[in-house]
């Protein structure tokens, strides 16, 4: 029979190896996605010459309804709508959904766009909170505003879908700025492939940039450290991670800040769920599940070229609440679509992407923080050697730095958004610094989100503190 000390040592060895293997698998998985993204970028580079030629379908793109949910967005809403009005696109409409804002959002819209009440037939395909009034701009015939009772972001998007006139709709956050060609580029997959039901574009941090008259005139970096961390984070996870999954048709997330959907497919799926915080991810996962159950050919793509610039939170509390909501939304999205990985036709979304999200995104914060705590305790109590502890730090921190650095390298090779040498030096420093505190803090916030989901504590879309200083070219 095994003695107690031997059993204890075996247990320590088992946990140590488990933690090692988990961190190696975590970083190897994301590095693999970067390699898939690199292959996709290489193929895109080969097509660059053709894409720069005059397009045969220029001016014939399908019309798009741009839906802009707004809750307490008076600081940024006017500049965002102006940027959308200047999009290089044949035919589109802008529908702003004022979700019971408590600030001056509606007053700003009335003043800046000369709104008047407009009686129109409102088709209720999806259930929403009561619509109080529909307004139309007397200056811009393609701008309408829906004023409704507060129901959350998902409810606002459903109201916008009900009011939309066109076959495609694009959800855009009210604090966002689109580049002039963003809409044209993000709709290209729908022209290439009739089976495409959704496409997402790149979201980048606008803090530190300069915007004038609705145009982004200068790309800069924020001075705020929290926003700087998010610049690197967006490159690593929101750009190249999603590009890697898209190459396999396994992308489970299209950012609510910038995504285009085929309206009939979304309506058939039931629209956005109003009882979840992560309504954007839940809709995409549900569409995967339902379309695979029907064995219907489809594609959901990520397009890295079209850029949407959005204001990232700069204060600790807002950033914390945002990440808690994101993690809870992830848990709700996976929990609501358990049928996907067990489907006979699950494919890459069900058999690869869903388990990946489950192991490394949903359970990730629990295992990561538990791993740090156990390895530190085991080292300081003499249960493991300093060589083992050093190897763990290399795997957990060193590979994390390598992952972020590879994302920055891919950014510089492919898009070169930050052209100044000083900007690259700053981002290089942030790549290293974020692994010593920020990523661990982020894991703690995500763990809090898991706990709130498990205990079903109430949460909501909430409001973010907007500074909007980048609109006028100033920053604090």
pLDDT value of residue 291: 96
Nearest Cα to Cα of residue 255 among 326, 196, 360, 191: 326
- Position 105 pLDDT exceeds 50: yes
230 within domain boundaries: yes
Instruction: Please state the domain count of the chain.
Output: 1
156 within domain boundaries: yes
| pLDDT > 90: percent of the chain | 59
Residue 34 in tokens: 């970067």
The confidence band for 176, taking pLDDT boundaries of 50, 70 and 90, is confident
The 3-class secondary structure across 134-147, one letter per residue, is EEEECCCCCEEEEE
CATH number of the structural domain spanning residue 157: 3.90.550.10
376 within domain boundaries: no
The confidence band for 44, taking pLDDT boundaries of 50, 70 and 90, is low
pLDDT value of residue 474: 42
pLDDT value of residue 377: 93
Helices then strands, counting H and E runs in the chain, come out as 19, 12
261 within domain boundaries: yes
What DSSP character marks residue 151? -
Phi/psi at 67 (nearest 5 deg)?
-105, 125
pLDDT value of residue 40: 80
pLDDT value of residue 473: 43
pLDDT value of residue 173: 85
418 within domain boundaries: no
| 304-336 as b/e: b if 16+ CB within 10 A | bbbbbbbbbbbeeebbbbbbbbbbbbbbbbbeb
Q: Are 105 and 74 in contact (CB under 8 A)?
A: yes
pLDDT value of residue 472: 52
**What is the per-residue DSSP string for 349-378?**
IIIIIHHHIIIIIISHHHHHHHHHHHHHHH
Q: pLDDT tens digits, residue range 216-243?
A: 788 889 999 999 999 998 888 777 788 8
- For 219, the enclosing helix (H) or strand (E) is none
- Position 471 pLDDT exceeds 70: no
Nearest Cα to Cα of residue 97 among 128, 132, 68: 68
Give Cα 187 to chain centroid, integer Å: 18
The confidence band for 95, taking pLDDT boundaries of 50, 70 and 90, is very high
Q: pLDDT tens digits, residue range 136-153?
A: 999 999 999 999 999 999
Nearest Cα to Cα of residue 221 among 411, 462, 442: 411
15 within domain boundaries: no
187 three-class SS = coil
419 three-class SS = coil
Q: Please state the pTM of the whole predicted model.
A: 0.88
Residue 222 in tokens: 């924020």
The confidence band for 463, taking pLDDT boundaries of 50, 70 and 90, is low
pLDDT value of residue 421: 84
The confidence band for 202, taking pLDDT boundaries of 50, 70 and 90, is confident
458 within domain boundaries: no
| Residue 293 lies in domain | 62-315
Which one is predicted more confidently, 3 or 330?
330
The confidence band for 461, taking pLDDT boundaries of 50, 70 and 90, is very low
**What is the per-residue DSSP string for 232-272?**
HHIIIIIIIIHHHHHTTT------TTEEEEEHHHHHHHTSS
- Position 133 pLDDT exceeds 60: yes
229 within domain boundaries: yes
């Amino acid at each position: 029979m095994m003695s107690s000390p031997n059993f204890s040592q075996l247990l320590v060895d088992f946990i140590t190896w488990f933690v090692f293997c988990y961190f190696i698998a975590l970083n190897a998985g994301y590095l693999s996605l970067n390699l898939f993204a690199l292959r996709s970028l290489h193929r895109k580079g080969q097509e660059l010459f053709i894409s720069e030629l005059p397009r045969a379908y220029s001016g014939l793109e399908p019309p798009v309804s741009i839906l802009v949910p707004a809750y307490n967005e008076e600081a940024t809403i006017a500049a965002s709508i102006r940027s959308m009005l200047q999009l290089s696109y044949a035919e589109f409409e802008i529908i702003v959904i004022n979700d019971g804002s408590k600030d001056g959002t509606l007053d700003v819209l009335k003043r800046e766009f000369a709104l008047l009440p407009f009686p129109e037939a409102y088709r209720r395909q999806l259930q929403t909170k009561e619509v109080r009034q529909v307004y139309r701009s007397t200056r811009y015939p393609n701008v309408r505003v829906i004023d409704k009772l507060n129901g959350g972001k998902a409810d606002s998007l459903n109201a916008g879908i009900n009011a939309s006139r066109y076959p495609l709709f694009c959800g855009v956050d009210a604090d966002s700025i689109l580049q002039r060609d963003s809409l044209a580029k993000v709709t290209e997959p729908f022209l290439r492939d009739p089976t495409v039901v959704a496409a997402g574009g790149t979201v980048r941090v606008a803090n530190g940039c300069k915007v004038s008259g609705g145009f982004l005139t200068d790309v800069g970096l924020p001075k705020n450290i929290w926003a700087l961390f998010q610049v690197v984070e967006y490159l690593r996870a929101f750009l190249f991670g999603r590009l890697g999954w898209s190459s396999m048709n396994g992308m489970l997330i299209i950012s609510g800040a910038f995504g285009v959907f085929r309206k009939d497919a979304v309506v058939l799926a039931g629209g956005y769920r109003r009882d979840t915080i992560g309504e954007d991810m839940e809709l995409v996962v549900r569409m995967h599940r339902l379309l695979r159950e029907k064995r219907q050919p489809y594609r959901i793509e990520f397009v890295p070229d079209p850029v949407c610039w959005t204001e990232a939170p700069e204060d600790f509390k807002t950033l914390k609440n945002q990440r808690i909501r994101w993690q809870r939304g992830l848990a709700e999205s996976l929990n609501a679509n358990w049928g996907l990985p067990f489907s006979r036709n699950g494919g890459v979304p069900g058999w690869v992407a869903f388990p990946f999200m489950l192991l490394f995104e949903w359970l990730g914060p629990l295992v990561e923080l538990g791993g740090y705590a156990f390895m530190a305790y085991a080292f300081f109590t003499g249960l493991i050697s300093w060589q083992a502890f050093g190897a763990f730090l290399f795997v957990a921190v060193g590979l994390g730095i390598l992952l972020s650095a590879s994302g920055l390298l891919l950014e510089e090779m492919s898009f070169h958004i930050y052209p100044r040498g000083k900007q690259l030096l700053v981002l290089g420093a942030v790549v290293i610094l974020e692994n010593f505190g920020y990523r661990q803090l982020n894991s703690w916030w995500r763990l809090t989100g898991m706990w709130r989901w498990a205990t079903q504590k109430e949460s909501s879309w909430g409001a973010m503190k907007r500074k909007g200083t980048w609109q006028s070219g100033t920053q604090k």
